[in-house]
């Protein structure tokens, strides 16, 4: 193959994907000479990104030396990942293959504003690095999931309905400074930071972990708000400025008189989110303030919580009938506080009633597999895929002087 296939970054991609994992296979796939492949691989070995694994079987009937298998060294760096909810956050130190080395979950409200929240995350990250026995100089990147639409080119949240004070804020810069200030590591002030919507990163993590061959995958998160992440051909579909998947603000007839936090009436989130169900339960005299409270009531089999959650599922299912007809996904996954049998039953009732049979004939409707860690998994994977993409590999190797 010609063109960029000759770069060290492309060889690393071939090894990471499993398409070519020996020197001979790399020569065969790329058409490069043995010497050129050796030169490219030498740069990757010097950077510490490749290692030699166990020798494979001898392919030739004439015998000879077994081929040495090449492997991406997932231990040469770590990723910091965090998933911000409206009231709680989860953060972790991950290896490059997504294995958690240290993890923390605790209360952290986005309503406190970006400065306070990001400074606290910097403190969490510093503590987690100590717990994992890693230095900040080993961090190759930070991935952050937030509950709002994100312009991924700038890493800034764009007019988020449930994140007051975050609109247009320099999240990347503040998080870098927060980490650098708590680790005394100058390199931490330049670490790459990738920010994306939480539903997008949950979808990315779930699709890669459980449905890697699904070319069209949709995840719907129903918690304080409602949002969807769409994965097409292995990549997050974000729209032109990060607004794709914001189905919580689709207008629905049953909410015509209900005011949404965005200021409009009739939004899906205003009638079918975890917060909306909690408000209805509170109105009926049941102690509930949030989606997590509803989740606890559902786990206890509370009949009114079950009824209202199923009703919420029907409202979401009506909107998802349009989503499924438009995108024709192979998997529709429901995640978040309300994900469970009552909600899923309601979704299926309206979805299969309203969508054309052809759109649902091969559709799997499932609940989340990774649970509360999906956002972390997706955030970590996004960082790795970005930093070890062929073009970025070349930039980073040059910066390292190899």
pLDDT of residue 277: 96
**Is the per-residue pLDDT at 187 higher than 80?**
no
CA distances from 69 to 64, 103, 368 (A): 15, 32, 35
Q: Which two tokens stand for residue 35?
A: 């010497």
Three-point CA angle 132, 133, 134, nearest 5°: 90
Q: Are 12 and 397 in contact (CB under 8 A)?
A: no
pLDDT of residue 57: 59
pLDDT of residue 60: 47
Read off the pLDDT band of 241 (50, 70, 90): confident
Find the length of the chain.
402
Q: Are 136 and 185 in contact (CB under 8 A)?
A: yes
The better pLDDT of the pair 159, 44 is held by 44
| Arithmetic mean of pLDDT over the chain | 92
**CA 57 distance to own-chain centroid:** 37
**Is the per-residue pLDDT at 3 higher than 50?**
no
Q: What is the pLDDT of residues 281-298, one digit of tens each?
A: 999 999 999 999 999 999
Q: What is the pLDDT of residues 156-165, one digit of tens each?
A: 999 888 899 9
Question: How much is the average pLDDT of 92-109?
Answer: 96
Surface-to-core class of residue 330, CB atoms within 10 Å of its CB (0-12 exposed, 13-18 middle, 19+ buried) = middle
**Is the per-residue pLDDT at 63 higher than 90?**
no
pLDDT of residue 16: 95
Q: Which two tokens stand for residue 389?
A: 């993409």
CA distance 302 to 307: 9
Question: How much is the average pLDDT of 145-153?
Answer: 93
Q: Give the HSE-up count for residue 91: Cα atoms under 13 Å, Cβ half-sphere.
A: 23
The better pLDDT of the pair 92, 263 is held by 92
CA distance 92 to 296: 25
Among the listed residues 339, 373, 385, 341, the one whose alpha carbon sits nearest the alpha carbon of residue 231: 385
Tokens 């312009």 sit at which residue?
151
**pTM for this model (two decimals):** 0.91
Read off the pLDDT band of 120 (50, 70, 90): very high
pLDDT of residue 240: 87
**Is the per-residue pLDDT at 357 higher than 70?**
yes
Question: How much is the average pLDDT of 193-217?
Answer: 96
pLDDT of residue 106: 96
CA distance 328 to 234: 15
pLDDT of residue 355: 93
**Is the per-residue pLDDT at 339 higher than 90?**
yes
Percent of all residues in the chain with a pLDDT value above 70, rounded to a whole number: 96
**Is the per-residue pLDDT at 103 higher than 70?**
yes
Q: Are 314 and 349 in contact (CB under 8 A)?
A: yes
Q: Are 77 and 94 in contact (CB under 8 A)?
A: no
**CA 150 distance to own-chain centroid:** 13
Residue 143 makes CB contacts below 8 A (sequence gap 6+) with 79, 80, 81, 82, 193, 194, 195, 196, 201, 378, 379, 380, 382, 383
Q: Are 210 and 188 in contact (CB under 8 A)?
A: no
Helix 34-47 / helix 390-400 crossing angle, nearest 10 deg: 70
Phi, psi of 156 (to 5 degrees): -105, 140
Read off the pLDDT band of 30 (50, 70, 90): very high
**Is the per-residue pLDDT at 179 higher than 90?**
yes
pLDDT of residue 1: 45
Kindly report which listed range (53-57, 142-146, 353-357) carries the lowest average pLDDT score: 53-57
């Amino acid at each position: 193959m010609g063109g960029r296939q000759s770069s060290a970054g492309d060889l690393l991609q071939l090894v990471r994907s499993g398409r070519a994992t020996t020197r001979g296979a790399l020569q065969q796939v790329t058409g490069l000479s043995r010497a050129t492949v050796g030169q490219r691989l030498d740069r990757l070995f010097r950077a510490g990104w490749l290692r030699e694994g166990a020798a494979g079987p001898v392919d030739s009937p004439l015998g000879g030396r077994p081929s040495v298998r090449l492997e991406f060294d997932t231990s040469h760096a770590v990723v910091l990942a965090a998933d911000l909810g409206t009231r709680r956050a989860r953060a972790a130190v991950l290896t490059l293959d997504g294995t958690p080395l240290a993890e923390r979950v605790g209360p952290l409200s986005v309503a406190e504003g970006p400065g306070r929240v990001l400074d606290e995350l910097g403190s969490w990250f510093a503590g987690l690095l100590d717990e994992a026995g890693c230095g900040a100089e080993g961090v190759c990147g930070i991935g952050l999931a937030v509950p709002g639409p994100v312009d991924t080119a700038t890493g800034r949240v764009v007019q988020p309905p449930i994140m007051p004070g975050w609109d247009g804020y320099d999240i990347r810069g503040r998080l870098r400074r927060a980490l650098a200030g708590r680790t005394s590591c100058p390199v931490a002030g330049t670490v790459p930071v990738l920010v994306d919507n939480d539903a997008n990163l949950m979808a990315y993590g779930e699709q890669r972990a459980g449905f890697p061959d699904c070319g069209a995958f949709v995840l719907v998160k129903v918690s304080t708000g409602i949002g969807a992440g769409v994965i097409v051909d292995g990549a997050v579909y974000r729209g032109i400025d990060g607004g794709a998947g914001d189905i919580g603000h689709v207008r629905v007839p049953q909410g015509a008189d209900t005011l949404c936090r965005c200021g409009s009436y009739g939004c899906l989130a205003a009638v079918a989110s975890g917060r909306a169900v909690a408000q209805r339960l509170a109105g009926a005299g049941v102690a509930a303030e949030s989606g997590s409270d509803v989740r606890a009531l559902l786990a206890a089999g509370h009949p009114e919580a079950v009824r209202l959650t199923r009703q919420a599922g029907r409202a979401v299912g009506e909107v998802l009938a349009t989503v499924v007809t438009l995108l024709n996904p192979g998997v529709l996954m429901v995640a978040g506080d309300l994900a469970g049998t009552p909600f899923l039953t309601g979704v299926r009732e309206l979805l299969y009633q309203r969508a054309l049979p052809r759109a649902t004939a091969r559709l799997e409707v499932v609940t989340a597999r990774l649970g509360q860690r999906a956002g972390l998994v997706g955030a970590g994977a996004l960082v790795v895929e970005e930093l070890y993409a062929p073009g970025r590999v070349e930039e980073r190797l040059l910066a390292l002087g190899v």
